[in-house]
Amino acid sequence: MIQAFVPRARLAAYMGDASPRSVGLATVFGAASSSCSFAALSAARALVTKGAHFVAAVAFMFASTNLVVELGILIFLFLGWQYVVAEIVGGILLIALTTLIIRATYPRQWLEEARETLEEEAPVESESFDWKERVRTKEGWWLVGHRFVGEWSMVWEEITIGFTVAGLVAVLVPPEFWEAIFLMDLQGQIPGWLIALENAVVAPFVAALTFIGSMGNIPLATVLASNGVLFAGIMGFIYSDLMVPPLVAVNARYYGWRVALYIAGVMFVSIVVTALTLAGLVGVVGLTPESSRTVEDVVRFEIDYTFWLNLGMAGVAATFVVLHRKHVAHRDASEMERGGGVSPKGIVALTCVGAVALGGVVAWLG
């Protein structure tokens, strides 16, 4: 609804500089936006094209992948409420650190060149609509359905891959592997702060190797937590969804490789510092969360309140699919989606679905 009824140009007008107010509003807008990492990058690019400051756009990216409600729900289910609180506090701290680093190292020439390229490539869009009028029209609600389907079409792949990879890792990867990577077998032999530092530094690279986005990261973070990875490592892993290679490549396509690698570097430093700061804060107050949950504990099938909520939401989703089809049917041919086929990530996701289905058949027959 926010994407359909709020003109993005109006949002960009409030984010035209790097002031605390601009960054704060970008954070709020991002938190109310999509949780899909790819959608976050696309929305940030559109905001930059429409005049938003680069600092505010990066804050928007972080907020839309770390402070959205659905991510908090997933963290609550898999890791517990303590991690939800840490995610929110750390997300705000992460945005503040990123803002300070970018303002201190601002590569003005690179970013001005990137903005000029974006403005030249940007399609002509009309966003001078009145949201009060649009919300009262059937076309406006058709657009809501279209945005709903579009969000799910972007996020289902990484969620599917994330859950499948988490399941495979939980079953096939022995605890000794995580003990070696995150130095768990050295606890008590070397200072704890050094292990926490190593965990926070290594976690983003582990996240990068998974190629999974924000929503898909949580099941695998649960696997890490159940295997004893320190809190700093878990938070560093969760925050690193925007550093996976496909997303860096998307930023490179938008802004060029110099800016993309600059963004990744700023994110890495901010993530490590944030993870360590959070670990220090919860350590001081003695509230370091230790999740004993496993993926097997959370992912189960039961006829309970969750089942009925899912059933009700399926009906809502079906309604939005109908609205989406009406929107598509009433658009001009020039506005129809271009291209087609299945993306490489889609092929991987479908392969995961097939593997899980095959595993289910084997388990049933066995």
Task: Give the residue among 113, 115, 68, 111 at the shortest CA–CA distance from 88.
Answer: 68
> Is the distance from CB of 60 to CB of 66 less than 8 angstroms?
no
Angle CA 89–90–91, to nearest 5: 90
> Is the distance from CB of 227 to CB of 197 less than 8 angstroms?
no
Amino acid letter at 190? I
> Is the distance from CB of 263 to CB of 251 less than 8 angstroms?
yes
What's the pLDDT band for 98 if we cut at 50, 70, 90?
very high
Please name the residues in contact with 145: beta carbons below 8 A apart, sequence gap of 6 or more.
Answer: 319, 320, 321, 322, 323, 324, 325, 326, 327
pLDDT reported for residue 268: 93
Helix (H, G, I), strand (E, B) or coil at 141: helix
At 63-82, the pLDDT tens digits run 888 887 778 888 888 888 88
pLDDT reported for residue 5: 78
Angle CA 292–299–80, to nearest 5: 40
| pLDDT over 90 (residue 306) | no
Stretch 180-189: mean pLDDT, rounded? 81
pLDDT reported for residue 270: 94
What's the pLDDT band for 101 if we cut at 50, 70, 90?
very high
At 114-172, the pLDDT tens digits run 888 877 765 455 556 777 888 889 988 998 898 788 767 766 776 677 677 767 776 78
pLDDT reported for residue 243: 81
Q: Pick the residue with more confidence: 312 or 174?
A: 312
> Is the distance from CB of 234 to CB of 224 less than 8 angstroms?
yes
Task: Give the residue among 204, 203, 194, 149 at the shortest CA–CA distance from 317.
Answer: 149
Tokens of 306: 């969750």
Q: Which letter does DSSP use for residue 331 in this model?
A: S
At 189-227, the pLDDT tens digits run 888 888 889 999 998 888 877 666 666 678 778 888 877
pLDDT reported for residue 127: 57
Question: Cα separations (Å) of 202 from 183, 275, 276, 349?
Answer: 10, 12, 12, 26
Stretch 225-244: mean pLDDT, rounded? 84
Share of the chain above pLDDT 90, in %: 15
Taking the mean position of all CA atoms in its chain, how far away is CA 230? 22
Question: Cα separations (Å) of 171 from 84, 164, 168?
Answer: 26, 11, 5
Task: Give the chain's end-to-end CA distance (angstroms, integer).
Answer: 47
pLDDT reported for residue 297: 57
Stretch 241-266: mean pLDDT, rounded? 85
Question: Cα separations (Å) of 199 from 193, 204, 237?
Answer: 10, 9, 9
pLDDT reported for residue 335: 46
* CA–CA distance, 350 with 347 (Å, rounded to integer): 5
| pLDDT over 50 (residue 363) | yes
pTM of the model: 0.70
At 344-356, the pLDDT tens digits run 778 888 898 898 8
pLDDT reported for residue 3: 66
> Is the distance from CB of 41 to CB of 4 less than 8 angstroms?
no
At 18-70, the pLDDT tens digits run 889 989 988 888 887 766 677 788 778 877 877 788 899 889 888 888 887 77
* CA–CA distance, 121 with 213 (Å, rounded to integer): 26
pLDDT reported for residue 274: 94
pLDDT reported for residue 188: 75
Chain mean pLDDT for the chain: 81
Task: Give the residue among 4, 68, 58, 2 at the shortest CA–CA distance from 26.
Answer: 58
* CA–CA distance, 159 with 152 (Å, rounded to integer): 10
Stretch 304-333: mean pLDDT, rounded? 85
pLDDT reported for residue 333: 42
Task: Give the residue among 23, 91, 24 at the shortest CA–CA distance from 242.
Answer: 91
